[in-house]
Amino acid sequence: MSSKKVMKCIASILCAVMLITGISPGIVAKADAIDDLWDRVDKLQLPTQTEAAISPLTINVGEQAKVTQTYTFGKGKAILSVPINIGDSPQAFIKISLEGFSGMYAFKVGDATIFNDIGGASYTLNQKDGKERKMLILKNADEDEKDIKVKITLYRYKNTVSPQGVLPAGRWATGYNYNGECLYKIKVPSDGIIKIEAGIDPTTKYETKTSFNTLLLNSKKKAISDVTVSGDGAQYCVKKGTYYLKATNKDGIVVARYKFSKVKTLKNTKKSKAISIKKGKTAKGILPAGESKKESRWYKIVISKKRKVSITAKNLAGEGQKVYLYKKGKSRLMASGSNELAYMGENGKYAFKTRFPLDKGTYYLKVTKKSKKASVYYSIRWK
């Protein structure tokens, strides 16, 4: 069979596969019809241009990978075959681009096939699927007599999962770990709030932020927070000390920084050390991550004569505070709530009134949190 007839045969196979599977250009497929395409190609023993094996370059996240190899996909050749050896790399990335082409091409690396007419393809190669692969490009039938330029960019990222030293507040950290976890040591100079910010993903040409989950660990690398699913904007209330921030992204890449805001805290951890709040004034405080939910902060208000009051608590950062109201010398709970306190009536059941009567006297407000892993920056005000 002549070269042109062979290429026309392949063109008809490509069209048939696309009709059978409903494949559109740029779609990755593993359908039986796709496997059948490559089986037919093998049986036809098409003229193949075989090149030497290539291995990935190592770059840092944020660097632009250079073209690893350029080939001239010659006239009269139907298939370009390039062996790939990713070696000890747990993960590698390959980008393929064609110049001087037209029409539909089929790209295959490992088991995945991509059809498109935009002259390119990208793959992620995982070592668990094997260290050695083969890249195949099936030429468009109409371009049998053309020389097509093929550029291959094959690279891996340098593993920076645990950078040495302490990450200062405000400095961007860029990390990569194929299993998706990056760990950063941070030191907090005083009580306050850590706020996480996600940076732009350097692997995309679009202004897209990296997406990662975050978890706060103590100095012994034990989790003291729950996982925050979207790390961008996550906030943790903390005491002075050393912590670790774990950021997790299934793609392995994390670009992040944290900012620290100092919060003045008082030692009102006991009823006997309760801080007075005057009418119309606001008191603020934190319940830090890792502190037992049994720990609390105490405040007191003085009612000069019988009157109706409202007491409001707000989350300024974090979530999960609970506020309880007691009268001095009494153990019975009078009101409670997470935000606006609801009054508990004389029969011991909530009346769900956010403005309720209090007799003349001194009252105590106890602030707690829902769990040990919760952290809250709160405010309390009464009027």
pLDDT band for 16, please (50, 70, 90 cuts): very low
Sheet holding 376-382, edge to edge: 282-287, 376-382, 311-318
Q: What is the pLDDT of residue 260?
A: 95
Domains 3-157 and 173-262 share a fold: yes
Mean pLDDT of the chain: 83
Q: Is the pLDDT of residue 207 over 80?
A: no
Spell out the domain ranges in the chain: 3-157, 173-262, 271-382
Q: pLDDT per residue over 316-330, tens digit each?
A: 988 888 999 999 998
pLDDT at position 163, please?
Answer: 65
- DSSP, collapsed to helix, strand or coil, labels residue 381 as strand
Q: Pick 170 or 10 by higher pLDDT.
A: 170
User: Residue 215: its pLDDT value, please?
Assistant: 93
The topology under which CATH files domain 173-262 is Jelly Rolls (2.60.120)
**Residue 226: count of CB within 10 angstroms of its CB:** 14
β-partners of residue 311 are 382
Please choose, from the candidates 178, 162, 160, the residue with its C-alpha nearest in 3D space to the C-alpha of residue 89. 178
Q: What percent of the chain has pLDDT over 90?
A: 41
Q: Model-level pTM?
A: 0.72
**Calpha distance 227→196 (Å, rounded):** 13
Confidence of residue 178 (pLDDT cuts 50, 70, 90): confident
pLDDT at position 143 = 78
The predicted pLDDT at position 353 comes to 65
Report the alpha-carbon distance of residue 41 to residue 336 in Å, rounded: 74
Exposed (0-12), middle (13-18) or buried (19+): which is 206, by Cβ within 10 Å? exposed
Is 376 a residue whose pLDDT tops 90? yes
| Domain range 3-157, CATH class | mainly beta
Give the pLDDT confidence of 93-124 residue by residue, as tens digits. Answer: 999 999 988 777 888 887 788 887 788 888 88
pLDDT digits (tens, 9 = 90+) for 236-269: 999 999 999 999 988 788 888 999 999 988 889 9
Q: Which residue's structure tokens are 């302490």?
A: 166
DSSP per-residue codes, 192-232? EEEEEEE-B-TTSSS--B---EEEEE-TTS-B-SPPBSS-T
Architecture of domain 271-382: Sandwich (2.60)
* Top-confidence range, 102-106, 152-156, 162-166: 152-156
- Whether 275 has a pLDDT exceeding 90, the answer reads yes
Of the chain, the end-to-end C-alpha distance in Å amounts to 94
Confidence of residue 126 (pLDDT cuts 50, 70, 90): confident
Going by C-alpha positions, the residue among 55, 66, 28, 65 that lies closest to residue 176 is: 65
Q: Which helix (H) or strand (E) holds 303?
A: strand 297-303
- pLDDT band of residue 283 (cuts 50, 70, 90) is very high
- pLDDT value for 37: 67
DSSP labels, 55-91: --EEE-TTSPPPP-EEEEE-TT--EEEEEEE-TT-SE
Reported as a single tens digit per residue, the pLDDT across 50-99 is: 999 999 999 887 788 899 999 999 888 888 999 999 887 788 899 999 99
pLDDT tens, residue by residue, 18-59: 333 333 333 334 445 556 667 777 777 788 999 999 999 998
Q: Which helix (H) or strand (E) holds 44?
A: helix 32-44
Residue type at 164?
Answer: Q
Contact 30, 113 (CB under 8 A): yes
- Beta-bridged to residue 102, according to DSSP, are none
CA dist 262 and 275 (Å) reads: 20
Contact 380, 365 (CB under 8 A): yes
Confidence of residue 197 (pLDDT cuts 50, 70, 90): very high
